[in-house]
Each structure stands twice: as structure tokens, then as C-alpha cells.
């Protein structure tokens, strides 16, 4: 497939190929993630955007091998350098998690243990990956907390999660995630639960971590603004597949896929004309159990033609590193250029 | 809608120029024990005109939701006055309050948890009718429900569905239909589009604007999202730690914002079109953890780039009008350029 060829490049730290996640379901099994490929280089920030139910969070959980019990990776590979995470034993994977690939979640309150101090939890995480004594772990934790912008880190070491503000908790979570110096950080809606001014500062923090540590970041979000302001590259998910991929500015500035175009048009941005209604995408995303035949977007697509209900378009390589899964991708790219 | 006819006399009787909602020096303090008091709402005054959308914007802890609850009388203020349609809400008898309440409704943030999952859409929407209009027979109620479903863009067959069979956007439409069931004049929308996806948010915003025009509603639109509040509201108040720090007509407030906090909020909006400039968001410090109300002087001074001045630390600034209807509570109100310059030089 074109998409796979485009994704393979020698310098990638993380290379996901044709990943599918399957749930048993009543009657027939269904796949909320249907063949996702992506590749991340050192220091790259890739945004995986989509609406709820698009499969973006399940993709992240599959990469971490943290899928819900009933789900399984049905196909594909997740290469971290030269090792396929899909093929690792649970024990080997435990060592990978936090060590080579780490994740930050949306809600820091429910991811932290409320009855242990912040410092203790981070120090434990350090000791899980390295043979270091308590005192050294404590010192390293304080240093890390400082790195992620927690003021009075020495004193805050002994604070409990409830004594931290939402932004500080997310900083602590990020400190914990990066304590093992991972190559890849997956951030699943890391700022969604935060205030606007805090969100901006957490994104700044992720920015500086990428710059200083050369980590690759996979940012998963439904917020196109957050994705656009942080990421170099964007992949748009719809109904379990990547429907468009490319440079962030290109994808949002000149979307090729009608879904991306609709999404961008429906953002309520600050300079929107208040006298006009917002252009919207009609209807709602399909359920993974009941995907329409052909292109999964065709029932909502303003540009759909008969071929769209007959066959599902492949994710094709276009000019300028852009990829799109639309039967009319080429013509649409010419139009936007 | 038919139900509105019943109110025609009361509406015209109050005089056209009277605001629908008048809030005066309203406060809600919570005692936490050991002498700690959180001043969630602290000395807020505002007026909401008939037919307008009043936007209340702020971050968590700003008191915007508490203020909305007070206006709906879902909570009792520590002090101050609230008038709705020229009646004193705080002095109203339980009976009068019940009559007034059907004229004011609310839609909350989470479309799923605000619906009873064991009831069908029809049962959910007709519950307020059962309570407030017990004389309606089943056929009349059913007719009203299908009228409401149509109004919010749902199909008649949705009446028999349960919330779990609906998407987030559809659930929020059910919430809106329920809020409109009694033909209210005033609807509080508390983060009503914050939990739904981008494309659904746009649909709901359009729907709310259409409804306002069709059935002449007055909205109190509570949100943390400046872009959304700008699109929806005619008048906007920015809240910070229980106070209104800036208030004005949309074009004045967004055209020439003056409070450093408003600037900070605007600077933190991420854009799809460009990588954000760091310096802009760093204009303010991160919000401190812990309760509000214990800060001497201006409440914003610990985070403010200008907060090192003596007067900011000692004197609480009051709202002062700087242009027609545009007021700011800051000792040194200024436009964006001069603020950035001042922050850089300090």
C-alpha cells in the first residue's frame, strides 16, 4: 500500500503499520481501529485528531498495549526501533512502558494515587526503571518537578495530589511519564480537562521537553486548535481509519478530504463572522459496528458521488507529502492549491 | 410555540425597556470551617436585556457557574439582589417562585448525565409538562413533545429512544427540548457545548441561535471558551475569582480588551493556523492552587504582569466605565500592545 511505503523511513523511532483493534461484540466482531499506520521521528510532534468514536484513543492504548480486556490487536505491527511491541510478552512490555514509550492521560486526578504523595509516586516510577537508592530517586524527582515547572519542588515533593491544582497535577503526570527518558511520549488529550491559560502553559512545557530531550510526541486530541498550535504533522481519523495526513499547516490550511474540510469549517474561531451561521457537517459519525458501505464518510459528505457508496477509498499518496483517503483526492488537491 | 401565548400579558405588563434579569451586588460565600471563607461570587452586578445573549466567561473557580445557579435560584446568595421580570426573586414566596421558575430553564454541560437513562426521550421531555401542566392529557403532551423534537432537529421516532441509543449531540438536543418544554423566556446554557465534538458543537450553536430568533429567548451563556462566547453573545462579562473584571458589548470587549486577564485568556487560545507564540501565553502566571478570596488588593495581582505595583497589592479595583458600556476593574487598564511592552520591561 502507498500509505505504508510513505510511512517507512529509516529515522523513525516509532513505526506503526496497519494496526487494527477488534472487539468481540454481540454477534459479529467489529473493529473500531481499521488499519492505522503512522511514523514518528525523534523530536517530531504528530497530532492524531478526530472526534469521539473515531478510534484515536484506542489507537493510543493499543500502542501502549493497554487495551480494555475484551479488545485485542487483530493485525499490524508497532515497531519501536527494531522491536515489535505487539509481539512482546507482558513482562517485556512492562519494561518498555515508561522506559521507552510513555503516556500522559487526560485526567491527572484519576491517574494519580490520591493517598500517596506526588514525590513518592514519581520516585517509585524512577525506581521501577533504574536501580537507584531512595535518596537519589528523591533528588532526581525534585529535579524533574523543577524541569516541568513545579515551583517549590522540594516542598511539593511531600504534597498529595489533592493539594495540587489541575495544571500542577498534569505537570506531575508529565514528570512521571518522562522520568525514564522515553523515546516516545503519547499524550492523550493532555490539556482537555484544564483551564485555557493552563492549557497554553502545558503545551509550552511539552514544547520545551521536545526541544530539550528530543522526545517524539504523539498528541491525541479532538481540539484542532491545540493540535495546530503544537504539531508539525497531522493525521485525521474518521471511523477507525486515517483519512488525511500531512504537514499541520497544509492539512488545516488547505484540507483535501471533505471530512477535514468540514471539521476545519466548523471550528468556532475567534475571527468568525458572527452574523453568519457556522457551516456544519450534517449528521454524525457512524458506529464501528454499523459502518456504511463504501467510504464511511459518504452519507455525510457534500461531495459524494455514486462510487463513494460502492468502494472504500485507499489512503493515497499525493503531492507534497500529503495523503488522503478520498476517491477525488487528486482533483480536490488541485483545487485547494 | 403555543405556551408562550400564556405569558403575553405578563411580558407586556413589565415595560419593554426593563431588563429581564437584574443582579445587584450579589455575593455567595462558602464557609469551609476554621475561619476559611471562599468568596465564590463576590459583589457582582449585571443586567440581562430581553432577547439578548449575555455571555459569562471565565476559568474554573471564577464563580461563573455559581452565579448562574444563583440567578436560577438553585442556590441562595449570601447577600445582594436578583430581579427577574421585575420581581424580587429573593423575596418571592414559594408559590410565586414556582411560577417564575417555569419561565427560566437551564441546559448543563454533560449531555448524558443530565438525562435519566431509564426514561425514554418522550418521558424526559414531558416530565416538566406533567409537573407544571397537570391538566394536559396524554395526547396533548405527546403532540407537544413531537413539536419540541421537531424544533430541536430530532425526528419523531426519537421519542421512543433511550439516551444510550443517542449520540452526544442528540442528547444535548433532548436537553434543549426539555428546557423549552414549558415555553421559558430565559434559558441558562452552562457550558452547554463544551463536552461535544467540534462538528456537533457547531450544529448546537446554530440551533441555539435559530431558536432564539424563532421563539424570542433570552440566554445566559456560561462558558470558558472565548471564541464561542464571542460568536454567541451580545454582551460579555469576564469573571475572575468571583468578580467581573471586564464587561462590555461584544465589539468593544473583543475590539479593545483592557484587563490583563482578558488579554491572557485571548493569548491562550490555540489556533489551527499557526504555532502559538510562547511569550503571549506567558503573560500570566499559572493559577495558584487553593481557595480564592484571601488575596489582598486586586485578586489578579499575583498572576498579573503589572501586579508588582503597590496599589495593585493594596487596593481592590472597582469596575469603571471606559467607553460606552465597557467597564474594567483594573488600576491600569490598557490595550494589548502596551501590556506586552509593560510586561517585557518589568
pLDDT in tens, A246-304: 999 999 999 999 999 999 999 988 889 999 999 999 888 888 888 999 999 999 999 99
Q: Is the pLDDT of residue B11 over 50?
A: no
What is the spatial distance between Cα B100 and Cα B97, in angstroms, rounded to a whole number? 5
Residue pair A129/A180 in contact by the 8 Å Cβ criterion: yes
Q: Which of A149, A252, A278 sits opposite B205 (nearest CB)?
A: A278
What is the spatial distance between Cα B54 and Cα B218, in angstroms, rounded to a whole number? 8
- Which residues in A lie closer than 8 A to residue B211 (C-beta atoms)? none
CB pairs under 8 A between A and B: 144
Instruction: Give the best residue of B197, B259, B287 to mutate against chain A (max A CB count within 10 A).
Output: B197
Beginning with the edge strand found earlier in the chain, give each strand of the sheet holding B53-57 in spatial order: B104-107, B186-190, B218-223, B53-57, B235-240, B243-249, B326-328, B320-323
CA distance B182 to chain A (A): 27
Instruction: Give the best residue of B109, B166, B198 to mutate against chain A (max A CB count within 10 A).
Output: B198
Output phi, psi for A280, to 5 deg: -120, 160
What pLDDT is stored for residue A337 in this prediction? 62
Residue pair B251/B234 in contact by the 8 Å Cβ criterion: no
Superfamily of domain A2-100+182-336 in the CATH hierarchy: P-loop containing nucleotide triphosphate hydrolases (3.40.50.300)
| Long-range contacts, B303-310 (Cβ 8 Å, 24+) | B303/B261, B303/B264, B304/B260, B304/B261, B305/B260, B305/B339, B305/B342, B305/B343, B305/B346, B306/B260, B306/B332, B306/B339, B306/B342, B306/B343, B306/B346, B308/B346
Q: Which residue has the higher pLDDT, A240 or B287?
A: A240
What pLDDT is stored for residue A128 in this prediction? 87
Judged by DSSP in three states, A71 sits in coil
Asked if B226 lies within 8 A of A196 by C-beta distance, the reply is yes
* Per-residue pLDDT tens digits for B138-158: 999 999 999 999 999 999 999
C-alpha cell of residue A5: 511505503
What is the spatial distance between Cα A167 and Cα A193, in angstroms, rounded to a whole number? 9
Beginning with the edge strand found earlier in the chain, give each strand of the sheet holding A12-23 in spatial order: A30-41, A12-23, A72-80, A83-84
C-alpha cell of residue A69: 480486556
C-alpha cell of residue A220: 491525541
N residues, chain A: 337
Which sequence spans correspond to the domains of chain A?
2-100+182-336
* Per-residue pLDDT tens digits for B225-255: 999 999 999 999 999 999 999 999 999 999 9
Which residue is closest to B255 within chain A, CA to CA? A271
Cell 454481540, residue located: A26
Helix (H) or strand (E) holding A198: helix A196-213
Q: Is the pLDDT of residue B273 over 80?
A: no
What is the spatial distance between Cα B154 and Cα B94, in angstroms, rounded to a whole number? 35
* Per-residue pLDDT tens digits for A172-209: 999 999 998 999 999 999 988 788 888 888 888 899 88
Amino acid at each position: 500500500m502507498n500509505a505504508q511505503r510513505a510511512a517507512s523511513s529509516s529515522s523513525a523511532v516509532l513505526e506503526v503499520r496497519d494496526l487494527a483493534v477488534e472487539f468481540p461484540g454481540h454477534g459479529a466482531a467489529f473493529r473500531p481501529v481499521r488499519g492505522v499506520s503512522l511514523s514518528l521521528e525523534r523530536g517530531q510532534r504528530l497530532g492524531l485528531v478526530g472526534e469521539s468514536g473515531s478510534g484515536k484513543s484506542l489507537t493510543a492504548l493499543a500502542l501502549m498495549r493497554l487495551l480494555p480486556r475484551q479488545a485485542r490487536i487483530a493485525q499490524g505491527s508497532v515497531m519501536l526501533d527494531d522491536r515489535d511491541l505487539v509481539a512482546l510478552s507482558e513482562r517485556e512490555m512492562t519494561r518498555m512502558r515508561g522506559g521507552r514509550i510513555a503516556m500522559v492521560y487526560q485526567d491527572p486526578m484519576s491517574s494519580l494515587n490520591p493517598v500517596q504523595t506526588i514525590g513518592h509516586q514519581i520516585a517509585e516510577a524512577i525506581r521501577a526503571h533504574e536501580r537507584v537508592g531512595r535518596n537519589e530517586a528523591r533528588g532526581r524527582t525534585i529535579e524533574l518537578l523543577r524541569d516541568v515547572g513545579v515551583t517549590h519542588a522540594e516542598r511539593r515533593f511531600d504534597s498529595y495530589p489533592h493539594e495540587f491544582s489541575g495544571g500542577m497535577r498534569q505537570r506531575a503526570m508529565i514528570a512521571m511519564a518522562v522520568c525514564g527518558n522515553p523515546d516516545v511520549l503519547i499524550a492523550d488529550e493532555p490539556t482537555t480537562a484544564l483551564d485555557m491559560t493552563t492549557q497554553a502553559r502545558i503545551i509550552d512545557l511539552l514544547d520545551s521537553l521536545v526541544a530539550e530531550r528530543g522526545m517524539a510526541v504523539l498528541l491525541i486530541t479532538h481540539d484542532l486548535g491545540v493540535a495546530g498550535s503544537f504539531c508539525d504533522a497531522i493525521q485525521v481519523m474518521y471511523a477507525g481509519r486515517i483519512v488525511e495526513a500531512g504537514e499541520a499547516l497544509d492539512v488545516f490550511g488547505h484540507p483535501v478530504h471533505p471530512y477535514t474540510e468540514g471539521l476545519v469549517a466548523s471550528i468556532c474561531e475567534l475571527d468568525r463572522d458572527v452574523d453568519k451561521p457556522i457551516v456544519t457537517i450534517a449528521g454524525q459519525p457512524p458506529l464501528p459496528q454499523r459502518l456504511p458501505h463504501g467510504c464511511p464518510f459518504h452519507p455525510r459528505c457534500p461531495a459524494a458521488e455514486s462510487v463513494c457508496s460502492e468502494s472504500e477509498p485507499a489512503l493515497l499518496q499525493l503531492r507534497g507529502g500529503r495523503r488522503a483517503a478520498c476517491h477525488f483526492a487528486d482533483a480536490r488537491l488541485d483545487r485547494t492549491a | 410555540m403555543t405556551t408562550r401565548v400564556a405569558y403575553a400579558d405578563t411580558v407586556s405588563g413589565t415595560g419593554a425597556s426593563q431588563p429581564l434579569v437584574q443582579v445587584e451586588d450579589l455575593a455567595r460565600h462558602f464557609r469551609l470551617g476554621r475561619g476559611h471563607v471562599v468568596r465564590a461570587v463576590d459583589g457582582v452586578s449585571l443586567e440581562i436585556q430581553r432577547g439578548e445573549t449575555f455571555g459569562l466567561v471565565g476559568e474554573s473557580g471564577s464563580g461563573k457557574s455559581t452565579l448562574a445557579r444563583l440567578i436560577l435560584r438553585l442556590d441562595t446568595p449570601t447577600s445582594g439582589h436578583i430581579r427577574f421580570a421585575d420581581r424580587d426573586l429573593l423575596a418571592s414566596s414559594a408559590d410565586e417562585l414556582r411560577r417564575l421558575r417555569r419561565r427560566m430553564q437551564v441546559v448543563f454541560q454533560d449531555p448524558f448525565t443530565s438525562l435519566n437513562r431509564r426514561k425514554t426521550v418522550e418521558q424526559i421531555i414531558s416530565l416538566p409538562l406533567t409537573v407544571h401542566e397537570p391538566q394536559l392529557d396524554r395526547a396533548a403532551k405527546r403532540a407537544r413533545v413531537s413539536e419540541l423534537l421537531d424544533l430541536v432537529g430530532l425526528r419523531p421516532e426519537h421519542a421512543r429512544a433511550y439516551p444510550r441509543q443517542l449520540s452526544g449531540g442528540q442528547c444535548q438536543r433532548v436537553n434543549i427540548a426539555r428546557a423549552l418544554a414549558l415555553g421559558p423566556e430565559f434559558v441558562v446554557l452552562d457550558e452547554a457545548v463544551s463536552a461535544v465534538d467540534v462538528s456537533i458543537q457547531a450544529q448546537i450553536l446554530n440551533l441555539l441561535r435559530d431558536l432564539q430568533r424563532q421563539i424570542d429567548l433570552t440566554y445566559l451563556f456560561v462558558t470558558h471558551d472565548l471564541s464561542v462566547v464571542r460568536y454567541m453573545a451580545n454582551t460579555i462579562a469576564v469573571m475572575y475569582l468571583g468578580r467581573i473584571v471586564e464587561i462590555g458589548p461584544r465589539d468593544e470587549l473583543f475590539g479593545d480588551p483592557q484587563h490583563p486577564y482578558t488579554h491572557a485568556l485571548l493569548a491562550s487560545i490555540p489556533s489551527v493556523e499557526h504555532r502559538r507564540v510562547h511569550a503571549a501565553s506567558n503573560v500570566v502566571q499559572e493559577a495558584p492552587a487553593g481557595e480564592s478570596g484571601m488575596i489582598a488588593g486586586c485578586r489578579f495581582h499575583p498572576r498579573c504582569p503589572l501586579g508588582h505595583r503597590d496599589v495593585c497589592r493594596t487596593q481592590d479595583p472597582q469596575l469603571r466605565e471606559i467607553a460606552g458600556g465597557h467597564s474594567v476593574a483594573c488600576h491600569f487598564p490598557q490595550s494589548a500592545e502596551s501590556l506586552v511592552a509593560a510586561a517585557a520591561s518589568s
